[in-house]
Structure 1
Amino acid sequence: MAVSSSKKEALKLIEFLNRKVEEYDKPEFIPDDPICVPHRFTKKADIEIAGLFASIFAWGNRTTIINKSNELMKRMHDSPHDFVLHHTDKDLRDLLDFKHRTFNATDLLYFIDFLNRHYSRFDSLETAFSQWMDSGAEDITQALNGFYTYFFTGEDVPSRTRKHIAAPMRQSTCKRLNMYLRWMVRQDRSGVDFGIWNTISPSQLICPIDVHVARVARRFGLLDRNQVDWQAALELTAYLRKMDPADPVKYDFALFGLGVVEKY
């Protein structure tokens, strides 16, 4: 039976994107990406906390993101888990001049307060996301919405800090948290992503999307939606699942590389 031209084109696209995944999903990718910050650590909770801050800081110039993330790790004595649990008042005062773009000391102190409350009860940050998901959920929508609500259950929540945690219910793309969950969840033979969480499946992840990824996705017919929002992230991921149902967000490497590195 002859293969239709449209199916041939689809297969060629999959082959092309798979090659791009192999090109970017390798250890050489790590040093110039914010994921290099959690890769400095071996303790699970340190990886989780360093990864959370590196992902939250991840907008703008990548060198600046990495430098500011590393600066914060240094201020936390390069032991972020121990710091959030056992910091002194002086330790907190030493953070008051920390700033990265619109993220300032007010935000940082609330983040540390949240992490202190969470790690005083749990060994891993995974439960901050996974406990909100129904068994067999199609994707991580519930996890992200639940995390947002849970994150802001502390006393005297600074209203300004809410802009730093995205949620599908707020129609955000949730790009940075989706990237963070990719780091923590995805099983990666190349050793870029950590795969240290196992309650959430890689098949449930949503692809991080921004204007660069959206541009590439539209160019290859992976995305029709004009707005870059949560619905666009879902639409793109639905297409990627057709190519690899078990690991759709591996294509984040290809789309990021084509959009940001190769300026496709």
Structure 2
Amino acid sequence: MTLPRLKHNPNLFKGLLDPLIERYHRPAYLDSDPLGIAHEWKDPRDQEIVAIFSALLAYGNAQIIRRTLRALFDRFQGTGTRPSEWIKQYEKDPDATLQNLREEWNGIFYRFNSTGDLVLLFELIARSTLKFGSVGEHFLRFYDPNKPGSLEESWSAFIEDWSNDARELKRPGLKGFRYLLTSPKDGSACKRWVMLLRWMGRRDEIDLGLWMEGGLLVHSRPLCSADLFMPIDTHTGRITQYIGILKRKQYNWKAVLEVTEFFKKLEPNDPILYDFALARLGILDLCQKRYRVEICQTCSLLPACQFAKKQRAL
């Protein structure tokens, strides 16, 4: 099977990608992903809060991210309360609730983000929930599935709202917080928000689908899976380059659109179906930056892998 044939026949690519779905798109692999933490909560209101934290802190090593999330949310479980109950407490007494959170989360931080950043993130989630009913309703208030580009527009407006709110609240020493607020306007890959949209805009045994029709948290403008974007990070970016899907060298918003358009040819109604499975190859170290016979020869993507072809020629 030659690469030109694959490029011009998406169905041939499906034949290489579908075995990954069968093998890795399974709940057993949620323990390798930050999303698995959100699955530990059953109430959709709790899941939304935990999922937002899980997605926005998803930079770096997956297991370290999960440990940080556990440190945050084990504190809720330890006090016998749920994240959504803290929002009710915030509504009654914002200052006392935030002070309690600072004390509960004292000493917890993750890379660029301090305890103060995490408390501010909770405060913005609480404000959106109290004003709009859920963060999803706020995020999607300008979304129209019949209008191309409206998801990006609604997303950018949401980030602008949160940025303005963060400035108005005037919390001290929060330089790292800006790192959490990205949108397509920035031109970056926005991997963490794109990934959150996948979690909220798909529904199966992996993804939560909380912002879809019937997802309980969004009623006015539910999110359609066909409008989602492929998350591009160090794993999916490298692998899609290896198999000839991504031509660009930089992992930016144009790269996201390029890869998404390819996958729309395979699954028009669910273009990011393959994301979780592809990411497992990188997260589980099953696609390395060198040719390994014991790994590469068993990979269903080998016929399309330009990297393996070059490595074997050396």
Shared fold (TM-score greater than 0.5)? yes
Alignment of 1:70 with 2:84, yes or no, is no
Q: Work out the percentage of aligned pairs sharing the same amino acid.
A: 28
Q: Indicate conservation of the 8 Å contact 2:230/2:259, yes or no.
A: yes
- Could you tell me which of 126, 135, 150 is aligned with 2:136? 126
1:90-141 per-residue CA deviation (whole Å, 9 max, x = no partner) reads 4133123221111112211211221221121233221122113245233532
What is the aligned residue count? Answer: 259
Greater CA drift, 200-209 or 129-138: 129-138
Aligned to 2:203: 187
Task: List alignment gaps of at least 5 residues for structure 1.
Answer: none
In the TM superposition, residue 8 of structure 1 has moved relative to its aligned partner by 8.1
Question: What is the rounded CA distance, in whole Å, between the counterparts of 2:64 and 2:148 in structure 1?
Answer: 35
- Could you tell me which of 152, 156, 159 is aligned with 1:141? 152
Alignment of 1:171 with 2:182, yes or no, is no
Alignment of 1:83 with 2:90, yes or no, is no
Aligned to 1:153: 164
In the TM superposition, residue 9 of structure 1 has moved relative to its aligned partner by 5.8
Aligned-partner residue type, residue 92 of structure 1: L
Q: Give the 3-state SS of the residue equivalent to 2:268 in structure 1.
A: coil
Using a 3 Å threshold, how does the CA distance of structure 1 residues 260 and 105 change in structure 2: closer, same or farther?
A: closer
Greater CA drift, 39-48 or 157-166: 157-166
Equivalent runs, 1:227-242 vs 2, <5 Å: 227-242=250-265
In the TM superposition, residue 253 of structure 1 has moved relative to its aligned partner by 2.2
Q: Give the 3-state SS of the residue equivalent to 2:164 in structure 1.
A: coil
Question: What is the rounded CA distance, in whole Å, between the counterparts of 1:249 and 1:71 in structure 2?
Answer: 30
Q: Indicate conservation of the 8 Å contact 1:206/1:237, yes or no.
A: yes
Alignment of 1:99 with 2:109, yes or no, is yes
In the TM superposition, residue 32 of structure 1 has moved relative to its aligned partner by 2.1
Aligned to 1:263: 287
Q: Indicate conservation of the 8 Å contact 2:145/2:223, yes or no.
A: no
Question: What is the rounded CA distance, in whole Å, between the counterparts of 1:53 and 1:106 in structure 2?
Answer: 14
Using a 3 Å threshold, how does the CA distance of structure 1 residues 93 and 194 change in structure 2: closer, same or farther?
A: closer
Q: Give the 3-state SS of the residue equivalent to 2:274 in structure 1.
A: helix
In the TM superposition, residue 257 of structure 1 has moved relative to its aligned partner by 2.5
Using a 3 Å threshold, how does the CA distance of structure 1 residues 15 and 85 change in structure 2: closer, same or farther?
A: same
Alignment of 1:41 with 2:56, yes or no, is no
Q: TM-score, normalised by structure 1?
A: 0.90
1:181-222 per-residue CA deviation (whole Å, 9 max, x = no partner) reads 11111022xx11111222111111101101221111112221
Question: What is the rounded CA distance, in whole Å, between the counterparts of 1:225 and 1:239 in structure 2?
Answer: 13
Alignment of 1:200 with 2:223, yes or no, is yes
Q: Indicate conservation of the 8 Å contact 1:44/1:196, yes or no.
A: yes
Task: List alignment gaps of at least 5 residues for structure 2.
Answer: 91-95, 213-221, 289-314
RMSD: 2.1
In the TM superposition, residue 72 of structure 1 has moved relative to its aligned partner by 0.6
1:151-197 per-residue CA deviation (whole Å, 9 max, x = no partner) reads 12321264541111221111121111111111111022xx1111122
Q: Which of these two proteins has the greater Rg computed from alpha carbons?
A: 2
Q: Indicate conservation of the 8 Å contact 1:148/1:167, yes or no.
A: yes
In the TM superposition, residue 74 of structure 1 has moved relative to its aligned partner by 2.1
Question: What is the rounded CA distance, in whole Å, between the counterparts of 1:39 and 1:187 in structure 2?
Answer: 12
Question: What is the rounded CA distance, in whole Å, between the counterparts of 2:60 and 2:182 in structure 1?
Answer: 17
Q: TM-score, normalised by structure 2?
A: 0.76
Question: What is the rounded CA distance, in whole Å, between the counterparts of 1:74 and 1:254 in structure 2?
Answer: 28
Aligned to 1:25: 25
Aligned-partner residue type, residue 244 of structure 1: E
